[in-house]
Amino acid sequence: MSRERQAKIADKKERIYAVNKEAALYFYNNLVSRGVSPGYEYLRDRRITDATIKRFGLGYAPEGWDNLKEFLLSKGYSLEEMHDAGLVKKRDNGTYYDAFHDGRVMFPIIDVRGHVIGFGGRIIKGSDAAKYLNSPETIVFKKKENLFGLNIAKNDRSGKLLLMEGYMDVISLHQSGISNAVASLGTAFTEEQASLVKRYSPAAVLCYDNDEAGKKATIRAGDILLNAGVKTSVLTITDGKDPDEFVNAKGPDMFRVLIEQAKPLIRYKIDEIKQKYNLTEIEGKLEFLEEVTPVLAQIKGLAGREMYISELARELDVSAESIASGVERLAERNHIVDQRREARKLERRRYETQRSIPDNNMKLYNAERFTLSLMTEPKTIKEVLDAGVEADDFICSDIHKRLFKEIVDGYNSGETLSATELVGRFDSDEAKAVSDILIHDKNVRDKEAAAENPLRIILSEKLGRLEENALKSGDQEELQRLFEMKKRLKRSG
């Protein structure tokens, strides 16, 4: 991707962030500043306080086709920008109308860096329209890569995230002092969301509905989390209530009890399978074993696998060896499949990386990565800045440029950000790339010395670009200055 294209995309993202923020303020003011709106009445009926409304930036989109559109036009935003953000839709005749036009409580969706990236809207009056409506996918909003409430829950210190199905479940729990609740965005749970969970917490508790659809969603999400290396358990509310209803009826302390009683995912899956068979009969035992074997093969640790097998062997009155043989064969096959899948993912990432490098300049690309990997200590950051390197000198990847900015912003404010803190400032699809960059310095002792050669490569490329611009403009004085700088750079090498 060319530098011009990268800059254009970055500018477009910033404009979408800005128009979304303006829309969020508009919705919020509609909710709280114009008497008692239908949205405000709805939230009060749901026992949501003013403090919680403000904390989550909740709002109201009144009925009408042009309310938000006209407001944003008055703020200087174009119809194209609103459309790019998913805030308006386009009719066949070329005119535009508000995407949220039928009276909805609005839930801003905010990423971990504090950007408003989209909205969810809950309709107030009875209607044939969808109960919940989310923003469409945009250049900044990917439903499968974000979690509602994570911008707040990421600061929780409980060591686990609670995964809910609905926005109101998340909001009610946070209001009750349970600040580690998040929810997916109207779609099935994804691998990208599991990676996001793992970045902020080693464990997750699934709190989905207890009906058949909820159970299937629980098992599917749980498998994705386990494969991502997240310790996963399942919370069950047996009286038909969802988390929002439960915490309002019985209080947060009772909900905390349910969290502590949550079953490990493997235990939950085994218990669910048991309910389908008559384990007092041979036929029922055999059918149960056939279905439970893939569950046991999922267990990564040999000790844990053996304990579950021994327990089931006693319960079914069969030998542990007879269960283990089938489990081990399947576990080995699964391991081979996982290895092949990871190899394909790695190859795909390498291909995408190679394709994104301008003019195939691998030398500059590697110099940028190596320089960034060394910038984990203040003295190395100072050396890079003293050499005259700037964010715009990182031209091979937008991620390189943004990572440099994050490091330097931290340094200028008096702190050196850790690798974990830096990774946390990027979206899920970018976090792995940032992590790969930052772990490359493990065996480097003298980082200042190690930075000298890649710095020369970056500065040489920079001087070449400046020289090209000076030649085009005919600036002889600038050309002479650059010539002297190139001579000094050559002597230092």
Run means of pLDDT, 10 residues per run, the chain, 493 residues: 66 94 96 85 94 96 95 96 96 94 95 94 84 92 94 94 95 96 89 91 93 92 92 89 90 94 96 94 94 92 92 94 92 85 68 54 82 86 85 85 88 79 74 78 47 77 74 69 62 55
User: Between β-strands 231-234 and 203-206, what pairing exists: parallel, antiparallel or unpaired?
Assistant: parallel
The pLDDT assigned to 346 comes to 64
Strands across the sheet with 116-123, in order?
Answer: 59-61, 104-110, 116-123, 132-134
In sequence order, what are the residues at sequence separation of 6 or more whose Cβ sits closer than 8 angstroms to the Cβ of residue 254? 246, 247
CA 108 – CA 186 distance, rounded (Å):
14
Provide the pLDDT for residue 125: 82
Contacts of 229 (CB under 8 A, 6+ apart): 198
pLDDT, residue 428, reads 59
Six-digit token string for 222: 């749980």
All residues at 6 or more sequence positions from 340 whose CB lies less than 8 Å from its CB, including other chains: none
Say if strands 160-164 and 116-123 run parallel, antiparallel, or are unpaired.
unpaired
CB proximity list for 397: less than 8 A, separation 6 or greater: 356, 357, 365, 368
At residue 426, the pLDDT reads 76
Question: Which H helix or E strand runs over 205?
Answer: strand 203-206
pLDDT at residue 455, rounded to an integer: 83
Q: What is the pLDDT at residue 446?
A: 45
pLDDT the model gives residue 352: 60
d(CA 333, CA 226) in angstroms, rounded, equals 17
Half-sphere exposure of 289 (CA within 13 A, CB side): 23
The model's pTM? 0.72
Rounded to whole angstroms, the Cα distance separating 188 from 186 reads 7
d(CA 368, CA 425): 19
